[in-house]
A and B are shown apart, each in its own frame.
Chain A
Amino acid sequence: MASRGPVPAMDATAIDRALVRIAHEIVERNPDHLNDLVLIGIPKRGDNLARRIAASIGKNAGIAVPVGVLDITMYRDDIGSRASIPKPSDLPGSIDGKTVVLVDDVLFTGRSVRAALDAVVDFGRPRSVQLAVLVDRGHREFPIRADYAGKNLPTPSGANVKVELSETDGRDQVLLEEAP
């Protein structure tokens, strides 16, 4: 009964390419609102991804996009069932009228993004909210879709997709662990 163990689905190069492509797409699809873009990352990896995307936009389009961190612990529908202590959110100023791009590592059931949307509207009234994720693995339980996805990774729902980043885990890779 050997479980295969985690298998890399994306390596560091693939991740880097995906983020550069997302950065391009964000710029392409928001030509009239480049100066009111705000990237808001969902911890604990979405915020690092947001910073990398902002850096890429800065390098390639010459625009300094502000980056924020949105803690959604208080907005989850399952507080207590995961081990997470709420941390303060940190938004770069008001988000009224801004084009907010939420950034998360994995899009799965969509519940985290739903919580993030609730949190965002408590902070202000953005003009629009878009969603960028590194990995979309399907199995949505809510009508949520990613505007920008680094990689589509269809998986069985029992499997586990883990994103590792050098900022938090020491290296860049996306691991897929089959269900036992």
Chain B
Amino acid sequence: MAGAATAKPDCLAAKDLLGIEPLSRDEIQLVLETADTLSDVARHPIKKVPALRGRTMVNLFYEASTRTRTSFELAAVRLSADVVNISVQTSSVVKGETLLDTARTLEAMSVDFIVMRHGSSGAPHTLARNLKASVINAGDGQHEHPTQALLDLYTVRQKLGGIEGKTITLVGDILHSRVARSNLIAFTKMGAKVRFCGPPTLLSDDFSTLGAEVHHDLKTALAGADVIYVLRLQFERHRMGLMPSVKAYTQRYAITPERVKWAKSDALIMHPGPMNRGVEIAHEVADAPRSVIVDQVANGVAVRMAVLYLLEAGRTKRAAAAGGAS
């Protein structure tokens, strides 16, 4: 089909959103542009559009997260979908229902979308393979958190006018961060330069094989950066011997007002939340004018609406093609 290859997509090609990795640059651009329109809905007198009316979305969270879950819930209801929340308590002692059994139960209830957060990398992939429903990865183990990367892209685009050619430096526990991995893929795909900075035990040099610039010195990592992206410090790492001590970390890597100056004068401050104020990020930095942490949250709803809408558009399109002309 002549010209088909160059046609811009009008929906997401895959049934699921399991990561940023499978998305094309055009698809990412589509999500961002659609989010522009959908962010407007929050300003209408009726903060709803009927696009997903009659559809059911299940929040299947094996790890607690009020912020992400609420964001997805708002996104769904603004599109007129119905939402069911399932918080699964997992412990190694109480096995409970297997992932596959959960999937089959949800399938039997004709659910359309499943937003899943799980502690094991690849868990949403196992679910998606066995379900007709669309699975959205809200964070799997240490692997990916695609909607976070999309809303981060959206925020940078909104505040800096574009992503191409920008330098973004992520600081913290990169090794265990799915946000870092997704952002590396996302920002690189959109033409930005990604730098990672952290202690050697939390950031091995192997990360350069994935396309990031690896730094262990904060000053060189921040030099000329357009965005300082601060990752949450997880205190358990200290007990495992991966971090000498919280103090040793903050001495070298905490983002303070003085260190912010090492980056560009108008550099953005970002954080996926929740913040440990005073630890990885100073109070003044979190609340500074250049901090767009609050915008990230607001943009999260619009971006998630866009993802839901575009997945639905893809489903409808495939169903129409399969069922013949309407």
In the complex they form, do A and B come into direct contact, defined as C-beta atoms under 8 angstroms apart? Answer: yes
Task: Give complex CA distance A122, B45 in Å.
Answer: 7
Task: Give complex CA distance A72, B45 in Å.
Answer: 16
Task: Report which residue of A71, A79, A84, A124 has the largest number of chain B beta carbons within 10 angstroms of its beta carbon.
Answer: A79
A160 to chain B, nearest CB (A): 14
Would A79 and B40 be within 8 Å (CB), given that A74-B50, A86-B309, A123-B45 are in contact?
Answer: no
State the total of A-B contacts with C-beta under 8 angstroms: 59
Number of A interface residues, CB 8 Å? 20
Residues of A within 8 A of B44 (CB): 122-123
Determine if B30 is an interface residue (Cβ-Cβ < 8 Å). yes
Determine if A81 is an interface residue (Cβ-Cβ < 8 Å). yes
B213 to chain A, nearest CB (A): 34
Task: Report which of A71, A81, A83, A122 forms a contact with B326, defined as CB distance below 8 A.
Answer: A81
Residues of B within 8 A of A71 (CB): 37
Q: State whether B51 touches A75 (Cβ < 8 A).
A: yes
For chain A residues 108-142, which have a beta carbon within 8 Å of chain B? 118-119, 122-124
Number of B interface residues, CB 8 Å? 27
Hey, what's the 0/1 contact readout for B157-186 against A, CB within 8 Å counting as 1? Answer: 000000000000000000000000000000
Residues of A within 8 A of B45 (CB): 122-124
Q: State whether B49 touches A79 (Cβ < 8 A).
A: no
Task: Give complex CA distance A83, B34 in Å.
Answer: 13
Q: State whether A85 touches B51 (Cβ < 8 A).
A: no
Q: Which residue of B lies closest to A71 (CB)?
A: B37
Task: Give complex CA distance A80, B37 in Å.
Answer: 16
- 4 closest A-B pairs by CB: A80-B313, A80-B316, A74-B49, A122-B46
* 17 A–B pairs (Cβ distance < 8 Å), ordered by A: A74-B51, A75-B51, A78-B320, A79-B312, A80-B10, A80-B316, A80-B317, A81-B326, A85-B30, A85-B34, A85-B37, A86-B309, A119-B49, A122-B44, A122-B49, A123-B44, A124-B45
With A78-B326, A80-B313, A80-B316 already in contact, 14 other A-B pairs whose C-beta atoms are closer than 8 Å: A71-B37, A79-B309, A79-B312, A80-B10, A80-B11, A80-B317, A85-B34, A86-B34, A86-B37, A88-B36, A88-B40, A118-B50, A123-B44, A123-B45
Interface of B toward A, CB cutoff 8 Å: 7, 10-11, 30, 33-34, 36-38, 40, 44-46, 48-51, 79, 309, 312-317, 320, 326
